């Protein structure tokens, strides 16, 4: 019976034997995609290379990548949805294309040496075509050539077999998906792969990046088409093991056993109320996701904005379901230790950052327990008036006040109200919450978590300027300065760096002077690929918490700056204009933040 660790190993070995370089999975916090808070797919860290940037490891790559998707948080608790999941992937960056990708997919799935799936149980789908983009007849013919009969090759529309860009723009194209017949009866005469009745299980997806979607909605053929594939580890193992749910595999059973030991309840017991098992799954999933987020080299911490808000929501939802199972006090560190034990080998950062993970979970749990006490106390104060209402309805406005003022979850308000024969006006709450979200969005603008807004000419200039700024800060403040994050748009750059105190006006002026001096020198910007250790030995600065490949890109700006970096750069520093720091402030403990702009210089 194949395990999650065996599947990960077999997959990587298979593609390494076929000329693929194994690369390291990247952070959960995306570096070059401001449209999402977390890395949601294995392709995210590779977007620049899918668009034509040369990858230091070559044109054939394979890896396993931790991912988080937050759109289904409310659905987590059923037997299938997950917040955190692992993706296996292999890529061709302008090298092989559909023929090799499909044949290797078929071989890995059916070969007894690998997954050993009965070929008779395999069905596939291809893109049916739309508008100027034709049906993917090429993929259909390749599937026939490996032995899939025409009656098990289905043409499906865009919503099923088209892979869009990671954001609003970028590489995209048709895909072909592989399904295993589970043996369940068809739900009707139109049952086919993609149906949600459970007869067909999607096991793999080969995406053929043939186009670049532009901002005006056009699809431009890529000069060097690429292949991007994905296989979800947890779901695939559950299917191969014949399990009804991912929660019955070794990815979750040790975590669930810890929760059992805390609660004295048994997960999956025949006489369980369905809500008991749902709470078990929510605690296990959310603790696992929170552990990975807190253990990430670029960890975010619980907060009220962005990725930190998602993390806080995961932790607090897990705590609330712990209370539903009768758990009093803090407890998440115990299942978190099980997560670290399960995944410590493939993800060393969980072990290295275990103290931080456990401390932050404990701190956030304790804070939320205090919040719950305050919210429950406030509810008790409201209760006499609520009970006088003959309709026994609690207004959405009051429920939202509990949420907005005390962080009290609406689900818990509904639970408390129900215990006293009251019903919460959920529609009114949802309307108040929606209005709150709209006001928040209007006030906060676009969300960025590091990296670049795009690869436009202006953003490229600002990104290049951060290299000069980084080196100038080290000259003025000292070698302890290290980049702790960046956020770059077409309007300005934001640069976070380690430094214990506010900069003086003289220090700010000197940094500006040094940067503008290097711009005036019109230094050439060159790039070399070299082994990471050689890069470090040559004096190149490597960024914080980054997992680098054995071969890296090193950008040098004349005799001034040398950094390991993968982003876009100008050819000469003279292209940048005049550099001006507009604000210097605190970012967090021991970290300062600079906002700067580039002004046009008129000759």
Identify the pLDDT of residue 33: 59
**pLDDT tens-place string over residues 24-73:** 999 998 865 566 788 888 877 887 787 778 899 999 999 999 999 887 78
- Domains plus CATH for the chain? 4-245 (3.30.930.10), 252-368 (no CATH), 389-445 (no CATH), 451-599 (3.30.980.10)
Whether 188 shows a pLDDT value over 70: the answer reads yes
d(CA 119, CA 254): 33
Cβ contact 478:554 at 8 Å? no
Q: Which residue has the higher pLDDT, 531 or 305?
A: 531
Whether 438 shows a pLDDT value over 80: the answer reads no
The token duo for 104 is 């290797």
**DSSP secondary structure code for residue 20 in this structure:** P
In Å, the largest CA–CA distance within the chain is 81
pLDDT-derived band at 545 (thresholds 50, 70, 90) equals low
- pLDDT > 70 in the chain, percent: 94
Q: Which residue has the higher pLDDT, 43 or 108?
A: 108
Per-residue burial over 180-216, b = 16 or more CB atoms within 10 Å of its CB, e = otherwise: bbeeeeeeeeeebbbeeeebbbbbbbbbbbbbbbeee
What's the mean pLDDT in 188-207?
90
Identify the pLDDT of residue 445: 38
| C-alpha of 487 from chain center | 17
The token duo for 33 is 């995609």
pLDDT-derived band at 444 (thresholds 50, 70, 90) equals very low
The token duo for 231 is 């296989």
d(CA 211, CA 220): 5
d(CA 252, CA 3): 12
**pLDDT tens-place string over residues 470-486:** 999 999 999 999 888 78
pLDDT-derived band at 602 (thresholds 50, 70, 90) equals low
pLDDT-derived band at 448 (thresholds 50, 70, 90) equals very low
Identify the pLDDT of residue 125: 97
CA separation, residue 310 to residues 72, 94, 356 (Å): 12, 36, 18
Identify the pLDDT of residue 283: 98
pLDDT-derived band at 565 (thresholds 50, 70, 90) equals confident
Helix (H) or strand (E) holding 437: helix 426-444
pLDDT-derived band at 313 (thresholds 50, 70, 90) equals confident
Q: Which residues pair with 155 in a beta bridge?
A: 126
**DSSP secondary structure code for residue 446 in this structure:** S
pLDDT-derived band at 449 (thresholds 50, 70, 90) equals very low
| C-alpha of 558 from chain center | 36
Average pLDDT, the chain: 89
Cβ contact 413:402 at 8 Å? yes
Query: Model-level pTM?
Result: 0.72
Give the closest residue to 363 by CA, choosing from 292, 290, 286: 290
What's the mean pLDDT in 409-413?
81
d(CA 557, CA 151): 59
Whether 568 shows a pLDDT value over 70: the answer reads yes
Identify the pLDDT of residue 34: 62
Whether 155 shows a pLDDT value over 50: the answer reads yes
Identify the pLDDT of residue 453: 52
């Amino acid at each position: 019976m194949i395990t999650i660790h065996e599947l990960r190993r077999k997959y990587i070995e298979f593609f390494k034997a076929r000329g693929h370089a194994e690369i390291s999975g990247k952070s959960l916090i995306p570096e070059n995609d401001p449209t999402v808070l977390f890395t949601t797919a294995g392709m995210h860290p590779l977007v620049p290379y899918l668009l034509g940037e040369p990858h230091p490891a070559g044109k054939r790559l394979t890896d396993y990548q931790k991912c988080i998707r937050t759109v289904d948080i409310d659905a987590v608790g059923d037997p299938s949805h997950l917040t955190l999941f692992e993706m296996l992937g292999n890529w061709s960056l302008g090298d092989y294309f559909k023929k090799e990708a499909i044949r290797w997919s078929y071989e890995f799935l059916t070969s007894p040496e690998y997954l050993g799936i009965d070929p008779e149980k395999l069905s596939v789908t291809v893109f049916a075509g739309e508008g100027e983009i034709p049906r993917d007849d090429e993929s259909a013919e390749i599937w026939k050539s490996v032995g899939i009969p025409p009656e098990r090759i289905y043409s499906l529309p865009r919503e099923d077999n088209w892979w869009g860009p990671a954001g609003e723009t970028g590489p995209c194209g048709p895909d072909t998906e592989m399904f295993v017949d589970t043996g369940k009866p068809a739900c009707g005469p139109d049952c086919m792969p993609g149906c949600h009745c459970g007869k067909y299980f999607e096991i793999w997806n080969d995406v053929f990046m043939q186009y670049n979607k532009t901002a005006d909605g056009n699809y431009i053929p890529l000069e060097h088409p690429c292949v991007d594939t994905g296989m979800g580890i947890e779901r695939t193992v559950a299917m191969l093991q014949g399990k009804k749910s991912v929660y019955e595999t070794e990815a979750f059973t040790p975590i669930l056993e810890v929760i059992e030991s805390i609660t004295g309840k048994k997960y999956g017991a025949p006489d369980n109320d369905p809500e008991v098992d749902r709470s078990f799954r929510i605690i296990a999933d959310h603790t696992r996701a929170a552990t990975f987020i807190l253990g990430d080299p670029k960890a975010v911490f619980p907060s009220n904005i962005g990725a930190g808000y998602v993390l806080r929501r995961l932790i607090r939802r897990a705590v609330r379901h712990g209370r539903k199972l009768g758990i009093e006090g803090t407890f998440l560190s115990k299942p978190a230790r099980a997560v670290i034990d399960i995944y410590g080998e493939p993800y060393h950062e969980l072990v290295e950052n275990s103290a931080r993970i456990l401390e932050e979970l404990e701190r956030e749990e304790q804070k939320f327990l205090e919040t719950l006490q305050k919210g429950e106390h406030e509810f008790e104060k409201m209760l006499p008036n609520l009970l006088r209402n003959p309709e026994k309805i609690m207004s959405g406005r009051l429920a939202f006040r509990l949420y907005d003022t005390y962080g009290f979850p609406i689900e818990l308000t509904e639970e408390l109200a129900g215990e006293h024969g009251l019903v919460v006006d959920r529609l009114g709450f949802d309307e108040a919450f929606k209005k709150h979200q709209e006001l928040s969005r209007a006030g906060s603008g676009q969300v960025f978590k590091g990296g670049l807004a795009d690869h436009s000419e202006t953003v490229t200039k600002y990104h290049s300027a951060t290299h000069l700024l980084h080196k100038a800060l080290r000259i003025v403040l000292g070698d302890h300065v290290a980049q702790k994050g960046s956020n770059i748009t077409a309007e300005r750059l934001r640069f976070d760096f380690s430094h214990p105190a506010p900069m003086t006006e003289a220090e700010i002026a000197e940094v500006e002077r040094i940067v503008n001096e290097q711009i005036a020198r019109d230094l050439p910007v060159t790039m070399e690929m070299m082994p990471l250790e050689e890069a470090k030995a040559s004096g190149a600065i490597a960024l914080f918490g980054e997992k680098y490949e054995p071969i890296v890109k090193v950008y040098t700006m004349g005799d001034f700056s040398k950094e390991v970096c993968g982003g876009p750069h100008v050819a000469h520093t003279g292209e940048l204009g005049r550099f001006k720091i507009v604000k210097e402030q605190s970012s967090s403990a021991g970290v300062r933040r600079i906002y700067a702009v580039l002004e046009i210089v008129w000759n």
